[in-house]
Amino acid sequence: MEKEQLFERVKNMIVSSTKEPKYISLSTVKLADLFDVDGSEVEKALEVLVNEGRLKKSKLEDPPHADIYSLA
């Protein structure tokens, strides 16, 4: 999985989000389908981007308590 391509795709999704502050809830299954890879590869690449400080990961406080990503 190309980490830079994933980051650019996620960054564009966050920037185009209508939510304030800008964030997005990602479906790793849909991203895996877009990149034609396994969902676990997407999860690992997202975790690397979070660990590098390029993305921030948090959880929604209200239901559905989804993981959300924003730009660091």
- CATH code for the domain in which residue 44 is found: 1.10.10.10
Question: What would the mean pLDDT of 11-35 be, rounded to a whole number?
Answer: 91
* pLDDT of 1 above 80: no
What range does the domain containing 13 cover?
3-71
Position 62 pLDDT exceeds 90: no
Categorize the per-residue pLDDT at 60 as very low, low, confident or very high, splitting at 50, 70 and 90: confident
Mean pLDDT of 41-58: 95
Burial class of residue 59 in the structure, from the number of CB atoms within 10 Å of its CB (0-12 exposed, 13-18 middle, 19+ buried)? exposed
Total tally of structural domains belonging to the chain: 1
* Average pLDDT for 31-47: 93
> Count of CB atoms within 10 A of residue 14's CB?
19
